[in-house]
Amino acid sequence: MNIQDNVPLSDYTSFGVGGLAEHFSLVNNAEDLTEALKCTLPSTPLWVLGYGSNCLISDHGLPGMTICVRGGDITVDRTFITADAGAWWDDVVKAAIEHGLWGIELTSEVPGSVGGSTFVNIAAYGQSLGSVVEWIEIWDRNASQVKKLHRNDLSWSYKSSVFQTDKGKNWIILRVCLCLSSKITDELTYQKALDVASELRLNIDSLEDRRKVIIEARKRAGSLWHPDGGEAHTVGSFFRNPTVSKEQVDAIIAFDESGVSAEQIRKMNQIHGGSEARVSAAHVMLAAGFKRGQIFADGRVKLNDKNLLKIEALPGATAQAIYDAVREIQETCYEKLGIRLEPEARILGAFK
C-alpha cells in the first residue's frame, strides 16, 4: 500500500477545494482497497472517497487516513453486473446497455464511483441505484472483516442508504452486484427528457436511444462532469428536495420560471423525490429570494446560471466560503418559509 502524507484533497474533488489529507492512499481495485483497509487501524480516523463529486471537504483537510478509490473491474453474468467500488458508474451503465440490460439506463452519466453512488443512492429521471442492488460486499471496520449484505438486509429511500446511518457508518463498500432485466423496467416520463427525445427523434423504448436522450438532457441542464473535463466546479444539486406541507406545495411550485405547467412540475417532483409532498429545493430557493447566477463571497461562489441548486466554486473559492453560502441559503429558507434544506452533498472535516 502506497501512503503519502499531506496530499491536497482539492485535486480529488469536483469542487476543487479542500485542505490536506494527513495520510493518503489512492487504490484502483477492490482487492487493493481491502488490503488498504486491513492495514488501517480501527482507531485511525478513516475517510473514503471515490471521485469526490458529492463532497465539500474542509480547508483544514482531513485527519488520519484518506483512501481514494478509483478504478476496478466490471463483470456481466446473465442479468447480473458486479462492479468494484472504484469503477466509474457510467462504465457500469455502458456495460449494461451493451448487454441489453434495463434498469439503470436513466442514470447515464451521473458522475462518480460505484461506491460513492451506492452510498448516496443516486437517482435520476425516475431510476435509483438502490432498487436494483442484489448484494454488496463490505469491509466492516467494527469486526475488521469482509461481509456480504444481501438485498433483504438493505433498505433504500430517496437519496439515502444504510451507509449514511449509524448502523452503516463503519461499513466500506468493496463491490456491488446489480440485478438488471432483459426487458424494459421503467417508463421514461420526465417531461424535459421527453422533449429532447421528440426534438431529436429518438426512440425512448430503445436502450441506446434512451442513453442519448438522457445525456443530452443532462448536457442541457449543466449536469455533466468528468474528473478531467473542465466543467464547472460543483457537486451537482447541493440540497435534497424537501418535503413540505400540502398547502406549501402549490405556493412553492408557483415560483417556477421555466414555463412548465404546475401539473408537469408535480409529476417531475414525484419522479425526483418519490412523493407529491416533495418539492424542488431550487423552487424553495427561488421562493426565498435567491436568484440564478447569484454571487456570494466577493465573487468566489456562485449559483449556477441555469440551476441554482448547483453551487459553483469560482477561482479563489475556499471550502469555508462555500459552506458560508450554504448556511446563508439554509437560514434564509428557514426564516422566510419555515423550510429546512438539508445538504445532499457530504460536508467533511471542520468548518466554522
Contacts with ligand FAD, residue ranges (CB under 6 A): 14, 48-55, 69, 85, 110-113, 115-117, 119-120, 122-124, 163, 172-173, 223, 225, 234-236, 346
Cβ atoms of 225 and 233 within 8 Å: the answer is no
Report the run of H or E that residue 284 belongs to, with start and end: helix 281-287
CB closer to ligand FAD, 181 vs 307: 307
The least CB distance from residue 21 to ligand FAD, in Å, is 13
The least CB distance from residue 145 to ligand FAD, in Å, is 15
For residues 209 and 202, give the distance between their C-alpha atoms in angstroms, rounded to a whole number.
Answer: 6
The least CB distance from residue 116 to ligand FAD, in Å, is 2
User: Closest Cα partner for 284 from 303, 261, 312?
Assistant: 303
The least CB distance from residue 136 to ligand FAD, in Å, is 9
For residues 114 and 99, give the distance between their C-alpha atoms in angstroms, rounded to a whole number.
Answer: 19
Q: Residue written as cell 483497509?
A: 37
Between the alpha carbon of residue 285 and those of residues 211, 236, 256, 310, the distances in Å are: 30, 15, 11, 11
Query: Virtual CA dihedral for 297, 299, 305, 311, nearest 10 degrees?
Result: -40
For 63, residues 6+ apart whose C-beta sits below 8 A from its C-beta are 22, 45
CB closer to ligand FAD, 172 vs 288: 172
For residues 341 and 288, give the distance between their C-alpha atoms in angstroms, rounded to a whole number.
Answer: 11
Cβ atoms of 96 and 191 within 8 Å: the answer is no
CB closer to ligand FAD, 106 vs 297: 106
The least CB distance from residue 217 to ligand FAD, in Å, is 10
The least CB distance from residue 151 to ligand FAD, in Å, is 18
In single-letter form, the type of residue at position 220 comes to R
CB closer to ligand FAD, 172 vs 341: 172
